[in-house]
Chains A and B, each alone.
Chain A
Amino acid sequence: MLSRVTKAVGVGVGVRLRRACNAAALLCSQPCMEKCPAAHVVFSRPYSSQKEKLDMSIFPVENIRNFSIIAHVDHGKSTLADRLLEITGTIAKTDQNKQVLDKLQVERERGITVKAQTASLFYSYEGMNYLLNLIDTPGHVDFSYEVSRSLSACQGVILVVDANEGIQAQTMANFYLAFEAQLAIIPVVNKIDLKNADPERVEKQIEKLFDISKDECIRISAKLGTNVEKVLQEVIEKVPPPSVNISDPLKALVFDSTFDHYRGVIANIALFGGEVQKGHKIVFAYTRKTYEVNEVGILTPNEQPTHKLYAGQVGYLIAGMKEVTEAQIGDTLYLHKQPVEPLPGFKSAKPMVFAGMYPVDQSEYNNLKSAIEKLTLNDSSVTIHRDNNLALGAGWRLGFLGLLHLEVFNQRLEQEYNASVILTAPTVPYKAVLSSAKLIKEYGKEEITVINPAEFPDKSSVSEYLEPTILGTIITPDDFIGKIITLCQTRRAVQKDMMYIDEHRVMLKYIFPLNEIVVDFYDALKSVSSGYASFDYEDAGYQAADLVKMDILLNGNSVEELGTVVHKDKAYAVGKAMCERLKDAIPRQLFEIAIQAALGSKVIARETVKAYRKNVLAKCYGGDITRKMKLLKRQAEGKKKMRKIGNVEVPKDAFISVLKRQSEK
């Protein structure tokens, strides 16, 4: 048992701490003696400027376990993590330990984990002291990139399933990630304290879907702490220690990195060989840059310095890196002049959903820019391209891993940076296989990716258009199958599989065009299934699609910023909806305005804004003039800000109402 002196909570470094684990969580225990029992002497010390360094050499590789917890949203992953942290004395046992590892406000509000966190736990079992490194993972498929990163540092996972809800779509996705990584899997059925809990049924599902004997499942209540100790013991029993050697030269995987304003880049590393300490000169295999190590330590879950980190251990390293790009996630570290074969690293995350982001007011551009830059420091999976929209001004086209990722990013901008933005409806990257020799020469390749509808090549120079698809997994009580199948069909989905996972629950698998789910599929699914169906998806490559570019015309003039790429079968519905929204948003003018959606020269939908027949204040004498002048001048000011399409004046709000995500419905 070791001393765990929580790091100082200065005003500045408070960034990485959370309020919820407030004073009581800042605890110290006495430096440990060999026979220290599992119970801990805990006392509260809110402020401590002292950093005692831990000696990590007392944990030989065979006493180390690196593991993750994976679960569907709300199945209790974070609660289980809180309990594990408490049992091992990592945090004090109080009522306030709620999702200790979920540091972001958005994570707490949505009950999701976005950013993987790490915590080292100390646990004594059968006379041995173990170092258990819990590497938290995000639960949603959008963040499967983060999950696979986390898993690469693990040898085992705890698979948590809700005893009431049973296996859900994300349980499936996460299981396969762990399974493919050949990790030891410890199945846990959580929430057995709930009235409707049916662990028997859930264990059968686990057996059927994952081929894991139901006898292996541990029934727990993370909330009450029931059987949680058993889970820790299973981790020690079932998860193999990392197979590494201290005598090898240093070889460490950077599996995450964060940015701290005061200390620069903090790299989370897993050591696959050797050891590292302050003063070591290290080299990043990818960048070839050399740094001197300032500090190493473990995460409990806050940074706690140690003398060294040894092979098999997981911790952090600070070495004077100023930018996150200097510590590439997936990169390998080695000692200067002792190069090693780099670890396989990661596939870089590929953005699947794009959306325009613009400041509500252009004067806010610089603030928003700096907020986005700061946010992307800790989320390298967001791609950024500067964009300029005639109506919305200067902004960016951002690429996200998925919809939730987009929403979370937006929410973090608003909550953490107080930025208010216009977010356009998400689009997906299409591809076109060019047939025109001229264009092929121009692009230097035959297959091009089209993100901006303005760059959508004409059918005459294209042999085939392609759209991204996903393999969607839906798990639902069988009462809703009919409605869900209908919903999927309207979204152009093709059924791939349908199986009962128990007497009442069905798993459906569909190939969906990605653009059919990016806007409101999840909400629609929740609404047709009274909230019971769960959904998850994975990339399923591109497929040929009958795509067309649809233009929006105002009195015959095309509105460039409203051009969209749609599937031919959906063109009418999309076009009609856009025309209707525009009709409501464009004010009457001195002439009639025809709002049309057109494919090439063919108009497919039309709405009309009638001309003003009367627009003059009836009564205007002495006393009314001041008020009237004010009103007119405000309107005149507004008129200046309108965008002219031909002679039609379009207020910015009209573009926003057409372009922005529709949260209702």
Chain B
Amino acid sequence: MRSCLTREAQTLIRLSQVQRISSVFFGGGTPSLASPLTIAAVLETVSRCAHLAADAEITLEANPTSAGASRLAGFRASGVNRLSIGIQSLDDVELRLLGRNHTADEALGTLEEAKKLFPGHTSVDLIFGLPGQSVSSWARGLEELLQLCDDHVSLYQLTLERGTSLFKQVQRGSLPVPKQEVVAEMYESAREMLRDVGFRQYEVSNFARNGALSTHNLSYWQGSQYIGIGPGAHGRFVPRAHGESLREARIQTLEPDSWMKEVLAFGHGTRKRTVLSQLEVLEEVLVLGLRTDTGITHQHWQQFATSLSLWDMFGSSEEVKELEDQGLLLLDDRGLRCSWKGLVVLDSLLLTLLNQLQQSWADRTAHRN
């Protein structure tokens, strides 16, 4: 596995002809189960194939159980400088519901260790909208965590995945999930609580203080290129070594054994490549960029759409203006972004914006012909 990861990293970095790598994120599944040696090997390959700055952000996702203090130190020694802990909940009943093996105490223990090893660079996850959860029980859990956490918090609403036992129980009606209204209130109260203690909501689900933003995730939302390595990993980059100029959406083979065979045979396990048109790249830039508090700046947009400014795209739309009038969206000298109120209903705003983007793009093409 280790050699396959490094092999694939090498192949794909070369394919992308990327010169500088700004961050590395070990996530998906439970990477903290991997040996620190594997982490070190991958990082070594990355820095050999491209420039990896000494202060580049290297994040590891860790589950409380599998991350004993000594292991965490091992990861730090192999180059990890940021830890993201999947705490999920500080209520043991809720944790069991989520199928987690750890307890709230174990989670807090891991957090304690991590803060010592990665001060200012430890993130915690919490989930809301769980069956049986109320606005006040949620707020209490968050309050407790806020006493202990570091400078980064991610809050996720529960999404029921098909095939999980939780999904089945909810479908059957044996587990009542909180109503839409209640979930909305949980989210709203959390945003306010975090704001009150100095956290900046720099993305829909992400909060940071003292500038502890995750540069890796921020670059996703800003539409930067990324290379996905390992079974089932996703990537978005231009395969320049093949003389291509369009960005591709790439997915690596999901099943580990097949993935390994492919890497051994071809140097990589890319299962699916989809060429993204310019319009599709712009759509992603729009959808992802608006998730952040800074939104899409004019300069940022310019990197992707050289011919059409944000004003050209959205400035003359009545529907966009309506959203501005409702105080949900702002288009000004800085760029396009959601208001505090608008961020909560971003997916509704995006429908209008995507249609407008498509329209302006078609008009431009028609104009050219």
Contacts and interface: CB of A to CB of B under 8 A. Distances in A.
B226 A632 contact: no
A461 interface: no
Given A591-B326, A613-B181, A613-B184, A632 B348 contact: no
B344 interface: yes
B350 A632 contact: yes
A616 B234 CA distance: 22
Contacts of A610: 181
A263 B322 CA distance: 62
Contacts of B349: 590
A614 interface: yes
Interface size class for chain B? 35 or more
A441 interface: no
Interface string A610-633: 101111111111110110110011
A620 B184 CA distance: 18
B202 to A, nearest CB: 14
A616 B283 contact: no
A635 interface: yes
B93 to A, nearest CB: 21
A44 interface: no
A625 B288 contact: yes
Contacts of B157: 618-619
A640 interface: yes
A589 interface: yes
Contacts of A632: 287, 347, 350-351, 354
Interface in B197-239: 204-205, 217, 220-221, 226, 228, 232-236
Contact of B350 (A613, A618, A636): A636
Interface in A561-617: 589-591, 610, 612-617
B344 A614 contact: yes
Given A590-B326, A621-B220, A629-B287, A616 B354 contact: no
Interface residues of A, number: 27
B187 interface: yes
A648 to B, nearest CB: 12
A629 B283 contact: yes
Contacts of B220: 621-622, 625
A636 B235 contact: no
A628 B345 contact: no
B355 A639 contact: yes
Contact of A615 (B159, B217, B288, B345): B345
Contacts of A623: 28, 228, 232-234
Contacts, number: 102
Contacts of A618: 155-157, 159, 204-205
B234 A622 contact: yes
B205 A614 contact: no
A635 B355 CA distance: 10
Contacts of B323: 590
A633 to B, nearest CB: 6
A615 B234 contact: no
Contacts of A625: 220, 234, 236, 284, 287-288
B193 interface: no
B184 A614 contact: yes
Nearest to A631: B347
A646 to B, nearest CB: 11
A589 B349 CA distance: 10
Contacts of B336: none
A633 B354 contact: yes
What are the 6 A-B residue pairs with the smallest beta carbon separation, nearest first? A613-B184, A614-B184, A618-B157, A623-B234, A616-B346, A636-B354
30 contacts: A590-B345, A590-B348, A591-B326, A613-B344, A614-B183, A614-B344, A614-B345, A615-B348, A616-B343, A616-B344, A618-B155, A618-B156, A619-B159, A621-B27, A622-B234, A623-B28, A623-B228, A623-B233, A625-B284, A625-B288, A626-B274, A629-B280, A629-B287, A633-B283, A635-B351, A636-B351, A636-B358, A639-B352, A639-B355, A640-B355
Interface of B: 27-28, 155-157, 159, 180-181, 183-185, 187-188, 204-205, 217, 220-221, 226, 228, 232-236, 249, 274, 280, 283-284, 287-288, 291, 322-323, 326, 328, 343-352, 354-355, 358
Given A613-B344, A628-B287, 7 more contacts: A618-B157, A619-B159, A620-B291, A625-B220, A626-B234, A636-B350, A639-B352
